[in-house]
Each structure stands twice: as C-alpha cells, then as structure tokens.
C-alpha cells in the first residue's frame, strides 16, 4: 500500500513538472538559435540595416486551374532603410507587375509602430489600420531582433513540439508577442531559425500555416542575417525576397521617418483586432489591395443594389460584384466575393428586397479567391452551389475545410451542400425568368461560366473578369472569348454586367467583342 502511494505521488510530481520541462526546452532552443546567429550582443548591436534586393510574387488563389500552379504576378526591386531599434522601415518599391494587368508601379512604404503611409507620384496617403497591422506583423516576423525579444521574455516562450515544414519535421517554440503568436521552427543541425510561422485564415482553405522560410545566412557586423526570405501559405510560395546588399547600422537621416502633416491629420490607428492578414498581404502582392478598413469598399463608399431589371439587382461598390435574380419562389445569386463580410450583406439585402424568398442557388463563375471566398456563407444558408467544370472537387474541399481561426457561419452550422458542375450549358427557369449558363473557353481560367438572364423585356449578361466595365474596355483575347459565346448562342442587345465595375451595353463594345 505504501509503495502504491509512493508511485502515485511520484507520477503526480512528474506530471506537475511537465510545464517547467517544456518551458526549459523552449528556452534552450531559443538560446541555441541566438548563439548560432552570433549571440545576443551581436544581434543587439545591429541597430539598423540598409537593404537592397529583388522580389517575386505569386498567387495560388488566381491559378489557371483549381489547385494548379500559383499565378506569377510579377517582379520587383526594393531599397529599405530599417531602424530595428525603433521598429520602423522605409521601403522604396519598383514593381514590374505582369498580372492581372502589365504595369510599372513606383511607390514608397513608410512604416512605424503607430503610423504608416504610402508615397507615390501623386503624394502621400496614410495606410489603413489593417494594412499597418499586417505590415508591422511582417516587419517583426523578418526582424533579426525577434529571437532576442523571445530570449528577453522567457515567460512568453513555450515548447511547440515538432512542426512540419514541407517534408521535414522540425523542433519549434511558440512566442507570444502582443497579439501575435509566432511559431519558430529550428534547423536541428545549425540551430538557426528555419521558419517563422503564424496560423492564419485563408478565405478559401481556412486554417493555414503562413511561413517565412529563412535561408542564405550571411555574417553582417558579427550577426547572422538571412538574405533569402520565402513566404509560403500552406507550403505554397507566394513571395520570395532576396537581399543582394546588406549594410549594418547605416546613417539614417533625421527626415527618413518624418510624417507629412496631411498624413498625420488623416491617419487611422493601427488595427488591433479582426485583421484579415492573408487578404491584406496577398492583395498587396497582387497590387489590388483596397487600402480601407472597410476591406471590401473604399473609404466613403459602400455596397449598394443597382436595379438592372425589376427582378435583377447588381451589387456594386465593392472590390467585386454579385448579381441577384429573383425567381417566382426563390433567389439565385452569382458569385461570392471576398468572404463572409460581403456574403452576409448580400444575403440580408437580397432577402430584404425580396422577402420570403430563400436563396436556392449560388452560381460561381470560376474558382478565383476574390469571387468565391464568401461561398461558405451561402452554403450555411442552404444554397445549392453551381460551378464550372472541373471545379467541383475544389469546392468540396472548401466546404470541408476547418475555419476556426476566423469562425464563419458554416463552421458554426456545418452542412454538406449539393454542388452541381456545368460542362457545357444549364438552364434555370420559371414562368417569368430564365437564366442560361454557358461554359466559356477563355484565357483567364480553365473553368468559367457566364450567365444570360432573360426576364420581361430585359436581356442581361453577367461576365466576371473577362470584361470589367470600370473604364475604357480594350479589345483582348478575353473580350473576344465573350464575343464568341455571344455569337454562338445568338445573344444580341444585351446589357453586360461585370463581376467588377458596373455595366456596359453590348452594342457599345462591338469592336472589342469581335473575333480574333
């Protein structure tokens, strides 16, 4: 009996010691990494950096085929003045963007702990609070001082077991700093940090690892600095930065981080919650970020219903649009831009405009993230989802994905919808309205649908991305592909409603729709 009591007491003591052992393991990994980087004194001695480099960007959510190779977005060069001591950086960018539209962009981002602004040939404008928060997080992620901060704050460090990075399984610690928990993975041979990870919400894939994978270590002023920085979402590379020239402790002029008075007057506080990190960073890579804390519409703007026919509403004002069609007994909605924020607004607005009618069908024109990130909200509301071929399997995975980091309606009320795939054409109709869906071969994406809505005297064609009525429409392979479908099905005199922008009359863009 005494022996049994002794064993029980011993086991209890061992269990009680586990947190301390785990904490010690985390501390030792941090200490080894700091030593491998040159030691705490050497790292603290690098109070600033002058960096020149180049960059490349990709977007998996804009791939040509579902789950295909990420779309290459473009190249860039940059020059950065980084004051590590104050947590401030000024980066001048030269962006040679290839997608979605070829363009050269030159601008400078100035980022400080409490304010950020962007300067181009038109002047300087303050960053939105969500952009500041996202970019400050990324500045800290890449900072040579991150592990020194962890070393100085052992209570915020915990062992994180083994973490997968590609095919590797690496020892790791978690480091809670402010509102962010970084998971730091280490190379067991060199003890250097291999990757700095956060757990982020991806609007398609849900709970995801976002990693900064470090390499190309080089001694700078006695400290090891990584000169190869690869950013990856779920092991898929979305950005690659290479430092070609790094100088420690450069002379930083007094006006480097001076803030123009107009920027101070209009500046927003750094966001402290509900930051859509992946949307911000990856839309910046795409050069399509709407720099507003409203996320889906610019400052001073808003979503609105624009009536194209008594039973047809165009949702405009956001970064991407929806089309709402009221049938006799139910509603049909095209596309699900951004995420739950826009989907919830559209669902509420549609049901208020047409009370008593449930949403029966959600039609997704194609798989790109900016038009489908809000799909799950419609599924939770009971909709059947209609997609082009070969997208069905892709959206079945989307429905099943865990969304716990940012919990959505479907995570709270799980449901398996019917997903219908259209390979050629499909018709939805009642006594008053007919929706004809056509599969369109095009240069933008492997699977794409356009919709022809015929109701009363109205003839409306909904087109996403191939034609975007938000300025002059140039003739291209994309517009010609729409023209081919219109001629094939003898569609004339239509009002074309865009998945971006507003509307344009078919007759006004005859030349742009002409055959190649």
More confident residue, 268 or 8: 268
> HSE-up of 230 (CA within 13 Å, CB side)?
13
Report pLDDT for 273. Answer: 93
Residue 225 has pLDDT above 80, yes or no: yes
Within 10 angstroms of residue 260's Cβ, the number of other Cβ atoms is 15
Residue 360 has pLDDT above 90, yes or no: yes
Mean pLDDT of 486-491: 97
- Reported as a single tens digit per residue, the pLDDT across 172-208 is 999 999 899 999 999 999 999 999 999 999 999 999 9
- Reported as a single tens digit per residue, the pLDDT across 446-485 is 999 999 999 999 999 999 999 999 999 999 999 999 999 9
Residues 398 and 417 sit within 8 Å (Cβ to Cβ): no
Residue 119 has pLDDT above 80, yes or no: yes
Find the angle CA(282)-CA(287)-CA(289) to the nearest 5 degrees.
65
Of 141, 132, 130, the C-alpha closest to 274 is: 130
Alpha helices in 354-420 (DSSP H): 369-372, 375-380, 392-400, 409-412
User: Percent of the chain scored above 70 by pLDDT?
Assistant: 95
Q: Annotate 433-490 with three-state secondary structure.
A: EEEEEEECCCCCCCCCEEEEEEECCEEEEEECCCCCCCCCCCCCHHHHHHHHHHHHCC
Residue 17 has pLDDT above 50, yes or no: no
Residue 235 has pLDDT above 80, yes or no: yes
- Reported as a single tens digit per residue, the pLDDT across 44-82 is 999 999 999 999 999 999 999 999 999 999 999 999 999
Residue 21 has pLDDT above 80, yes or no: no
| 7 phi/psi in degrees, rounded to 5 | -60, -45
Q: Assign 147 a pLDDT band (cuts: 50, 70, 90).
A: very high
Report pLDDT for 305. Answer: 98
Beta strands across the sheet bearing 503-505: 425-429, 433-439, 449-455, 458-463, 495-498, 503-505
Residue 289 has pLDDT above 80, yes or no: yes
Residues 303 and 315 sit within 8 Å (Cβ to Cβ): yes
User: What average pLDDT does the chain have?
Assistant: 94
Residue 292 has pLDDT above 70, yes or no: yes
Determine the Cα–Cα distance for residues 31 and 155; give it in Å rounded to an integer: 14
Residue 11 has pLDDT above 80, yes or no: no
Mean pLDDT of 114-140: 98
Report pLDDT for 12. Answer: 41
Q: Assign 25 a pLDDT band (cuts: 50, 70, 90).
A: low
Torsion (CA) 19, 25, 26, 27 in degrees, nearest 10: 110
Please give the biggest Cα pair distance in the chain: 95
Q: Assign 26 a pLDDT band (cuts: 50, 70, 90).
A: confident
- Reported as a single tens digit per residue, the pLDDT across 415-446 is 999 999 999 999 999 999 999 999 999 999 99
3-state helix, strand, coil in the chain (%, to 5): 25, 40, 35
The model scores a pTM over 0.85: yes
- Reported as a single tens digit per residue, the pLDDT across 88-103 is 999 999 999 999 999 9
Q: Assign 509 a pLDDT band (cuts: 50, 70, 90).
A: very high
Mean pLDDT of 126-136: 98
Report pLDDT for 3. Answer: 43
More confident residue, 15 or 333: 333
Q: Assign 18 a pLDDT band (cuts: 50, 70, 90).
A: very low
Q: Assign 372 a pLDDT band (cuts: 50, 70, 90).
A: very high
Residues 117 and 127 sit within 8 Å (Cβ to Cβ): yes
Residue 7 has pLDDT above 70, yes or no: no
């Amino acid at each position: 009996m005494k022996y049994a009591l002794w064993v029980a007491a011993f086991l209890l003591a061992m269990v009680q010691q586990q947190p301390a052992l785990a904490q010690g393991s985390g501390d030792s990994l941090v200490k080894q990494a700091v030593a491998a980087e040159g030691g705490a004194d050497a790292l603290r001695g690098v109070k600033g950096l002058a960096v020149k480099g180049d960059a490349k960007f990709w977007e998996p959510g804009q791939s040509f085929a579902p789950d295909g190779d990420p779309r290459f977005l473009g190249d860039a060069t940059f020059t950065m003045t980084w004051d590590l001591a104050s947590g401030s950086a000024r980066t001048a960018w030269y962006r040679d963007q290839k997608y979605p539209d070829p363009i050269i962009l030159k601008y400078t981002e100035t980022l400080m702990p409490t304010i950020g602004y962007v300067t181009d040939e038109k002047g300087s404008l303050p960053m939105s609070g969500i952009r500041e928060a996202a970019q400050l997080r990324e500045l800290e992620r890449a900072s040579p001082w991150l592990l020194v901060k962890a070393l100085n704050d052992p209570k915020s460090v915990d062992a994180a077991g083994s973490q997968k990075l590609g095919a590797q399984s690496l020892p790791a610690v978690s480091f809670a700093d402010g509102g962010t928990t970084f998971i730091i993975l280490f190379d067991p041979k060199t003890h250097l940090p291999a990757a700095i990870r956060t757990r982020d919400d991806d609007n398609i894939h849900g709970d995801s690892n976002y990693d900064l994978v470090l390499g190309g270590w080089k001694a700078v002023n006695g400290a090891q600095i990584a000169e190869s920085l690869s950013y990856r979402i779920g092991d898929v590379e979305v950005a690659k930065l290479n430092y070609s020239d790094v100088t420690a402790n450069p002379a930083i002029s007094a006006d480097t981080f001076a803030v123009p008075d107009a920027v101070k007057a209009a500046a927003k506080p750094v966001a402290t919650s509900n930051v859509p990190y992946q949307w911000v960073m990856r839309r910046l890579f795409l050069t399509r970020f709407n720099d507003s804390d409203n996320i889906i519409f610019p400052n001073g703007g808003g979503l609105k219903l624009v009536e194209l026919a008594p039973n047809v509403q165009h949702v405009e004002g956001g970064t991407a649009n929806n089309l709402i069609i009221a049938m006799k007994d139910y509603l049909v909605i095209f596309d699900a831009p951004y995420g739950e924020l826009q989907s919830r607004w559209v669902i509420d607005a549609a049901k208020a405009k047409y009370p008593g009618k449930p949403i029966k069908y959600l039609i997704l024109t194609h798989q790109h993230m900016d038009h489908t990130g809000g799909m799950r909200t419609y599924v939770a509301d009971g909709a059947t989802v209609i997609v082009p071929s070969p997208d069905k399997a892709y959206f079945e995975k989307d429905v099943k994905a865990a969304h716990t980091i940012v919990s959505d309606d479907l995570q709270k009320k799980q449901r398996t919808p019917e997903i219908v795939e259209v390979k050629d054409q499909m018709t939805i109709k009642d006594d008053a309205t007919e929706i004809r869906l056509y599969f369109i071969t095009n240069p933008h994406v492997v699977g794409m649908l356009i919709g022809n809505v015929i109701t009363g005297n109205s003839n409306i064609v909904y087109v996403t991305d191939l034609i975007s009525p938000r300025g002059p429409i140039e003739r291209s392979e994309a517009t010609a592909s729409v023209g081919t479908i219109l001629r094939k099905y003898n569609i004339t005199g239509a009002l074309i409603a865009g998945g971006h922008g507003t509307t344009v009359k078919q007759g006004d863009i005859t030349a742009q729709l002409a055959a190649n």
